[in-house]
Amino acid sequence: MNPLLLFLLLFVGVPLVELYFLIKVGSQIGAFPTIFLTIFTALLGGWMVRAQGFTTLTRVRGTMDRGEVPAFEMLEGAVLLICGLLLLLPGFITDVVGFVFLVPPIRRWLLAVGLRQGGVMGPVESAPDGSGERPAIEGEFKREDEKK
């Protein structure tokens, strides 16, 4: 996709659609309830993002304590940052997208699907004997560039 078209869609199209829905909802329930609803979703979303951010931080620490790289947890943190931004923006569509990504099983599933589609994550090959452990490759090496 053309980057200019994507930029135009994000920064012009999304606010126009949000404005359209704000006007439609405002004409149905009134201006003040609409304003209250947008402020309420921003506050609720901010509180939920904060709580889940601390949970993700705890999981990052646990993963690092086990000596593993917390790559997936870091991606979740980035998605939570985007969720927070979407929930702070006034509008109902960005709020719906933000709240969908705040549901941990949905967020993890969508991240896993995105990583598989991008070719980053794939199935782990197990050992030929079916033990589930990956085979180790052993060998010797010699540096050629060492001075003698």
Phi, psi dihedral angles at 45 (to 5 degrees): -65, -40
Q: Is 131 contained in some domain? A: no
> Residue 37 above 90 pLDDT?
yes
Q: Which residue has the higher pLDDT, 95 or 120?
A: 95
Q: Which residue has the higher pLDDT, 138 or 100?
A: 100
Q: Is 110 contained in some domain? A: yes
Give the pLDDT score at 39: 94
Q: Is 138 contained in some domain? A: no
Q: Is 124 contained in some domain? A: no
Q: Is 126 contained in some domain? A: no
Cα–Cα dist 21/31, whole Å: 12
Q: Is 4 contained in some domain? A: no
Give the pLDDT score at 125: 54
> Residue 147 above 70 pLDDT?
no
Give the pLDDT score at 145: 80
Is the dihedral angle over the CA atoms 83, 34, 93, 5 positive or is it negative?
negative
> Residue 126 above 60 pLDDT?
no
Number of structural domains the chain divides into: 1
Give the pLDDT score at 133: 61
Q: Of 10-19, 48-57, 115-124, which range is least confident?
A: 115-124
Q: Is 83 contained in some domain? A: yes
Q: Is 98 contained in some domain? A: yes
Cα–Cα dist 105/82, whole Å: 17
Contact 102, 47 (CB under 8 A): no
Structural domain span for residue 89: 13-117
